[in-house]
Amino acid sequence: MAVFKRLAHYFAEKKYLFIMATILAFVAVLGTLIAPVLVGTTIDQLVGRHQVDFTKLNQDILILLVLYFGSNLCLWVATWLSNNVAYDGVNRLRQQLFSKLDRLPLSFFDTNPHGDITSRFVNDVETISDGALQGLLTTLQAVFTIVGSIVIMMRLDLVMALLVLITAPLSFLTTRLITKKSQHYFKMQADDLGALNGYAEEAIAGLKVEQAFQHETASQADFEQLNQQLYQTGFKSQFIASFANPTARAINNIMYAVIGLVGCLRVITGQISVGEISTFLIFATIFGKPFSDFTSLMTQFQSAFASARRIFRIIDLPEEIPDPKPAAKIDQVRGEIAFDQVDFSYEPQQHLIHDLNLHVKPGQQVAIVGQTGAGKTTLVNLLMRFYDVTAGKITLDGIDIRQLTRQNLRQQFGLVLQDTWLFAGSLRDNIAFGKDDATMAEIRQVAQESGVDEFIEKLPRGYETELQSATDSLSVGQRQLLTIARVMLANPPMLILDEATSNIDTYTEVKIQAAFNKLTQGRTSFVIAHRLSTIREADLILVMDHGQVIEQGTHQELLAAKGYYAQLYESQFAK
Ligand SMILES: Nc1ncnc2c1ncn2[C@@H]1O[C@H](COP(=O)(O)OP(=O)(O)OP(=O)(O)O)[C@@H](O)[C@H]1O
């Protein structure tokens, strides 16, 4: 009920349209219920040769036509209106969900599969729009139909009414029994299909590795087994389900025969007219339908509510700490950064950074080195406030970064990551992502400086080449060059390069390095790199291990200290 109320809130803005839809649905049902009675009285006029009042007959047929046409029209408008309400509400829900994502802490995205989050936007929201309102309208129609049919049939003849009431839901009940049995196999079939799907996806994605390890035969055998399993469950579910329709039809036919037979007896004894037999036969069909709709309606509702719950779970998640009001503001950053007794852990029980102290002078180029998992990226995460420190503080130009708005803090940095992110659009748009008003000349210049122009110029459509998706056929290095050009164009006051050149050949890397040196002249910058050749010139090198800075100094100082850095350097440049 709570979920229902909450959902209703999203559709409330257009509730008058839904009320109109309900009224129209009611009128439509009324039309379909009056029609059988009219069919009965019309048949009753066919009393014998030369005794038919054709004027009255034509009139009744015309009314019947109007009734059927009118009720279908009403139903069409009702469906259209309720769809309108549904899409409007669902639109609002999707919008709220998307804006919520911007306010969720990054830890949410780091710990939840992205596919699952996407499916809430696409599948869950769609299920709600299908289920909630359309389902509600169909349920209301079903209730009108059941109540209306009972009232009209009782008024015509009690015995016949009872007969229809008892026999009409019979075929529904039998079908339900059969589908229940087959549902078990359908679920197994869905699971098997999911497994097969997953296997195929994995195999296609890893085809190259699979061939390199000569795993094709084993993979074919695995697939064969999964495929066979799917065939078995698919066959069983279809076999059982195939009984549903013929059984329902057989029961319906028997039911018509019984109603016809009892009807004839009632005609002979004068309780009802011949026409009324037809009326009851039509009612038997009309009355059975809401029952057969019932199961699918219930499933529809259940999935809609389950989807709503999944969406509300995200909407109710605690958001990241809001920006302070009023916030401090940095217009012209000097670039002095200090970590002051900083503690941090991703998981409360797993300590990562403890009592970290650091001081970076304005304009310094800082390099961070260390083994995989040492905490280098974590330092960047803290600096950009993707995560907040658990103790201590980080200051920028003497201001605690938590006193700034996130936007003000982040606009001071240009960030290039190892994982590139490009969007569907032209190469030009992708480079100009951080500077909407960039001119073509500016774009060309950064492309040249980053070295990406060489490959762009070779493309038939050059800068206008459209990237279709994240998996476009660019090499990893080319993608990285594009993101480097992007940050060069944005020209941020400070730079953070997290393994930004890890996939680029050494020749291009040297070229980029020169461009970066030009860019970072007099600006504070952080470079995370595994290749120590790229950071020799840094003003300050931080060596990290297990979340701690274990050594710091210039390249020469660290070599002289003959510590961890010296060892690392030796290992990379050993003769
Ligand atoms: N979102 C996260 N949630 C939980 N633990 C995390 C998360 N991100 C990183 N870690 C853990 O924190 C530690 C430091 O990770 P970090 O990414 O900072 O290392 P790194 O030095 O940048 O490594 P690499 O050189 O591989 O990029 C690792 O043990 C890692 O498993």
- Tell me the C-alpha distance between 538 and 517, whole Å: 10
Residue 13 has pLDDT above 60, yes or no: yes
Instruction: Kindly state the average pLDDT of the residues 204-210.
Output: 81
Mutate to test the pocket of ligand 1, among 342, 377, 503, 526 (most ligand atoms within 8 A of CB): 377
Residue 471 has pLDDT above 70, yes or no: no
Lowest-confidence segment of 94-108, 120-134, 257-271 by average pLDDT: 120-134
pLDDT attached to residue 575: 47
Closest CA to 487 of 522, 533, 532, 452: 452
Closest CA to 450 of 509, 532, 373, 377: 509
Which residue ranges have their beta carbon within 6 Å of ligand 1?
110, 346-347, 352, 370, 372-378
Give 318-327 pLDDT, tens digit per residue. Answer: 888 888 888 8
The alpha carbon of 177 and the centre of ligand 1 are apart by a number of angstroms equal to: 54
Cα–Cα distances (Å) from 329 to 129, 337, 359, 363, 516, in that order, read 44, 15, 21, 20, 27
Nearest atom (ligand 1) to Cα of 347: 4
Structure-model confidence comparison of residues 55 and 419, the more confident one: 55
- Tell me the C-alpha distance between 47 and 36, whole Å: 18
Name 19's Cβ contacts closer than 8 Å, sequence gap at least 6: none
pLDDT attached to residue 148: 93
Of all protein residues, the one whose alpha carbon is nearest to atom 4 of ligand 1 is 346
* Whether residue 326 has a cis bond before it, omega within 30° of 0: yes
Mutate to test the pocket of ligand 1, among 350, 376, 546 (most ligand atoms within 8 A of CB): 376
> Which of the given ranges, 166-175, 289-298, 338-347, 455-464, has the highest pLDDT on average?
338-347
- Specify the residue for token string 């048949």: 43
Closest CA to 386 of 103, 106, 102: 106
Of all protein residues, the one whose alpha carbon is nearest to atom 11 of ligand 1 is 373
- For the chain, first and last CA: distance in Å? 73
The alpha carbon of 418 and the centre of ligand 1 are apart by a number of angstroms equal to: 14
- Tell me the C-alpha distance between 125 and 122, whole Å: 6
Instruction: Kindly state the average pLDDT of the residues 557-564.
Output: 90
DSSP structure string for 514-575: HHHHHHHTTS-EEEE-S-GGGGTT-SEEEEEETTEEEEEE-HHHHHHHTSHHHHHHHHHH--
The sign one gets for the Cα dihedral 207, 212, 215, 216 is: positive
The sign one gets for the Cα dihedral 544, 549, 553, 558 is: negative
| Paired sense of beta strands 525-528 and 425-426, if any | unpaired
| Paired sense of beta strands 525-528 and 494-498, if any | parallel
Name 203's Cβ contacts closer than 8 Å, sequence gap at least 6: 210, 219, 223
Confidence of residue 202 (pLDDT cuts 50, 70, 90): confident
> Which of the given ranges, 222-226, 244-248, 452-456, has the highest pLDDT on average?
222-226
Of all protein residues, the one whose alpha carbon is nearest to atom 16 of ligand 1 is 375
Residue 451 has pLDDT above 90, yes or no: no
The alpha carbon of 233 and the centre of ligand 1 are apart by a number of angstroms equal to: 43
Nearest atom (ligand 1) to Cα of 374: 21
Confidence of residue 205 (pLDDT cuts 50, 70, 90): confident
The alpha carbon of 88 and the centre of ligand 1 are apart by a number of angstroms equal to: 42
Cα–Cα distances (Å) from 11 to 83, 120, 187, 441, 509, in that order, read 11, 19, 32, 49, 55
**Considering the entire predicted model, what is its pTM?**
0.68
The pair of structure tokens assigned to 243 is 């009984």
Is the ipTM value over 0.90, yes or no?
yes
Instruction: Kindly state the average pLDDT of the residues 57-78.
Output: 93
pLDDT attached to residue 574: 59
The alpha carbon of 499 and the centre of ligand 1 are apart by a number of angstroms equal to: 14
Q: Burial level of 126, CB count in 10 A (0-12/13-18/19+)?
A: middle
Mean pLDDT of the chain: 86
The pair of structure tokens assigned to 27 is 């009128």
Residues of the chain with pLDDT > 90, as a percent, come to 31
The pair of structure tokens assigned to 351 is 């300590």
338 beta partners: 359, 395
Nearest atom (ligand 1) to Cα of 107: 1
The sign one gets for the Cα dihedral 462, 467, 473, 479 is: positive
Q: Contact at 8 Å (CB) between 459 and 487?
A: no
Closest CA to 383 of 343, 349, 410, 421: 410
The alpha carbon of 11 and the centre of ligand 1 are apart by a number of angstroms equal to: 43
Residue 78 has pLDDT above 70, yes or no: yes
Helix (H) or strand (E) holding 110: helix 106-111
pLDDT attached to residue 472: 62
Q: Burial level of 258, CB count in 10 A (0-12/13-18/19+)?
A: middle
Confidence of residue 469 (pLDDT cuts 50, 70, 90): low
Helices 54-103 and 15-44: angle between axes, nearest 10 degrees = 160
The alpha carbon of 377 and the centre of ligand 1 are apart by a number of angstroms equal to: 7
- Tell me the C-alpha distance between 196 and 223, whole Å: 7
Lowest-confidence segment of 189-203, 484-498, 499-513, 560-574 by average pLDDT: 499-513
528 beta partners: 368, 498
pLDDT attached to residue 569: 85
CA quadruple 175, 177, 178, 182: dihedral, nearest 10: 130
